[in-house]
C-alpha cells in the first residue's frame, strides 16, 4: 500500500518528487465543515526525463470504466521503469463518484461544464480551477475517460476529440486517439456544450483525447480493456513506459475508423417522448433514410410506433440504451467516415 498525504494547501504538492506519490487533495465543502478528498497520483519516472501526461477518470461520477482503469494503473505502474511525468486523477469529481451520479451532490454542478473553474466558486468549480492551474500546465497530453453513464444513451466504443485547426496537433490527436484501439475515433462538435475539461486542455494546446467506454452505470469489460491498454499505449508511444503498443481487439480486423459528427445537425433530438426500440447495435453502418429505430407512445393506443430514420449515411455512434426517451434528448448520432 502506498502512503497517502492529505493536502489542504495545494501549493505543497511536490510535482517534482521522483517516484510515485499519492495525495488526497482537500477542497472544503461550500456549506458545512468537511472536504472533498480528491485522489491524485504523481509519478515522476526514475528512468529519466520525458513528456508529461495527465489522465482523468470520474469526471462524471456515474461513469466507472475510467475510474477502474485509472485506479488499476496508478497502483500497477512502476516508476523505476518510467520516464517523464504522469499525473493520474481517477475520481476527479469525487463527491459525484461517491454518490454514483453525473453531477456533484454538493453543489449540483457538472465537472465537465465547469472549466476553466473559479477559485472563489463552488466546490466543483474550485476543483476545475485546480486542474486548470496545477495539473494541465504540467503536462503535454490529456486523457479524459468517459462513458455514457446513467443518462440512458449508449455510445459505440470510441475515443474522441474536437475539430482541431492546427494540422500538426490534429495529426497527433488522430495518432494518440487511435492508440485506444476502439472501433471508432470520433471527431465531435464543440457546439453541444462548453466548459469541458477537454475544451480547456485544447485551448492550452495540449494533445487532448476523450472517449466513451461504456454506459448505464456499469463496468463494461471491453470498455475497461480499451481504456486501460489505451492509456498504457499512450505511455509507450511517448517512450514513458517500456514495452510496445498492443492492440486491444485484434479480432476486429480493421483499425479504428475515423468518423466525424461535427455539425449540430448530426445530433438528432427525440421529436416526442416515447420508448425507443433499436433496429441495430451501436456501431452499425446505415444508409440515409434507413430505419434505425422506433419510438413507441404507449399513452395512445391508436398511435403506431414512430419510425426513426437515418438522416444520412454513416455509423450509429449513439442511440438510446434505456427504453424511455424524453423529447429533446439526443436520440441519434450518425457519424460519417473521414479520410485519414
Rounded least distance, CB 60 to Zn ion, Å:
4
> At closest approach, how far in Å is the CB of 59 from Zn ion?
6
Shortest Cβ 266–Zn ion spacing (Å): 19
Instruction: Supply the minimum distance, in Å, between the C-beta of residue 152 and Zn ion.
Output: 13
Within 10 angstroms of residue 271's Cβ, the number of other Cβ atoms is 12
CB of 111 to Zn ion, least distance (A): 9
Q: Please, which residues have CB within 8 angstroms of residue 173's CB and are 6 or more apart in sequence?
A: 161, 164, 207, 208, 209
Measured from the CB atom, the residue of 93 and 132 that comes closer to Zn ion is 93
What is the grid cell recorded at 307? 419510425
CA 24 to chain centre: 22
Q: Compute CA distances 175 → 15, 130, 180, 181, whole Å.
A: 28, 28, 10, 10
Q: Which lies closer to Zn ion via its Cβ, residue 146 or residue 215?
A: 146
Looking at the Cβ atoms of 44 and 67, the one nearer to Zn ion is: 67
For residue 184, the cross-strand partners are: 158, 257
Burial class (CB in 10 A: 0-12, 13-18, 19+), 32: exposed
User: How far apart are CB 18 and Zn ion at their closest, in Å?
Assistant: 33
Task: Report the residue number, 60 or 91, with the smaller CB distance to Zn ion.
Answer: 60
Cβ 139 to Zn ion shortest distance, Å: 20
| Closer to Zn ion by Cβ: residue 83 or 146 | 146
Nearer CB in complex with Zn ion: 282/286: 282
Grid cell listed for 69? 482503469
CB-wise, 60 or 206, nearer to Zn ion? Answer: 60
CA distance linking residue 228 with residue 334, whole number of Å: 27
Residue 241, C-beta contacts closer than 8 angstroms, at least 6 positions apart? 77, 81, 82, 83, 232, 235
Euclidean distance between CA atoms 173 and 320, whole angstroms? 28
Residues that bind Zn ion (CB under 5 A): 60, 63, 146
Amino acid at each position: 500500500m502506498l502512503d497517502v498525504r492529505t493536502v489542504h494547501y495545494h501549493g505543497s504538492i511536490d510535482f517534482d518528487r521522483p517516484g510515485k506519490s499519492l495525495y488526497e487533495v482537500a477542497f472544503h465543502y461550500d456549506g458545512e465543515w468537511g472536504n472533498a478528498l480528491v485522489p491524485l497520483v504523481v509519478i515522476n519516472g526514475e528512468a529519466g526525463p520525458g513528456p508529461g501526461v495527465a489522465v482523468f477518470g470520474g469526471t462524471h461520477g456515474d461513469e466507472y470504466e475510467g475510474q477502474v482503469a485509472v485506479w488499476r494503473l496508478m497502483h500497477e505502474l512502476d516508476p523505476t521503469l518510467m520516464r517523464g511525468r504522469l499525473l493520474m486523477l481517477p475520481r476527479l469529481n469525487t463527491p459525484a463518484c461517491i454518490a454514483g451520479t453525473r453531477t456533484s451532490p454538493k453543489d449540483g454542478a457538472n465537472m465537465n461544464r465547469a472549466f476553466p473553474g473559479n477559485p472563489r466558486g463552488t466546490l466543483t468549480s474550485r476543483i476545475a480551477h485546480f486542474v486548470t492551474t496545477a495539473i494541465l500546465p504540467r503536462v503535454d497530453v490529456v486523457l479524459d475517460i468517459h462513458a455514457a453513464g446513467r443518462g440512458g444513451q449508449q455510445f459505440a466504443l470510441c475515443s474522441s476529440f474536437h475539430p482541431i485547426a492546427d494540422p500538426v496537433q490534429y495529426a497527433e490527436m488522430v495518432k494518440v486517439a487511435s492508440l485506444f484501439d476502439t472501433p471508432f475515433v470520433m471527431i465531435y462538435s464543440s457546439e453541444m456544450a462548453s466548459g469541458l475539461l477537454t475544451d480547456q486542455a485544447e485551448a492550452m494546446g495540449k494533445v487532448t483525447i476523450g472517449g466513451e467506454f461504456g454506459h448505464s452505470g456499469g463496468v463494461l469489460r471491453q470498455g475497461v480493456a480499451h481504456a486501460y491498454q489505451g492509456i498504457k499505449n499512450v505511455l509507450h508511444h511517448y517512450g514513458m513506459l517500456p514495452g510496445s503498443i498492443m492492440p486491444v481487439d485484434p479480432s476486429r480486423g480493421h483499425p479504428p475508423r475515423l468518423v466525424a459528427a461535427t455539425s449540430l445537425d448530426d445530433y438528432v433530438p427525440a421529436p416526442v417522448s416515447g420508448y425507443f426500440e433499436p433496429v441495430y447495435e451501436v456501431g452499425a453502418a446505415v444508409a440515409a433514410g434507413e430505419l434505425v429505430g422506433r419510438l413507441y407512445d404507449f399513452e395512445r393506443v391508436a398511435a403506431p410506433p414512430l419510425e426513426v430514420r437515418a438522416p444520412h449515411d454513416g455509423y450509429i455512434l449513439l442511440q438510446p440504451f434505456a427504453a424511455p426517451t424524453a423529447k429533446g434528448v439526443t436520440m441519434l448520432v450518425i457519424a460519417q467516415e473521414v479520410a485519414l
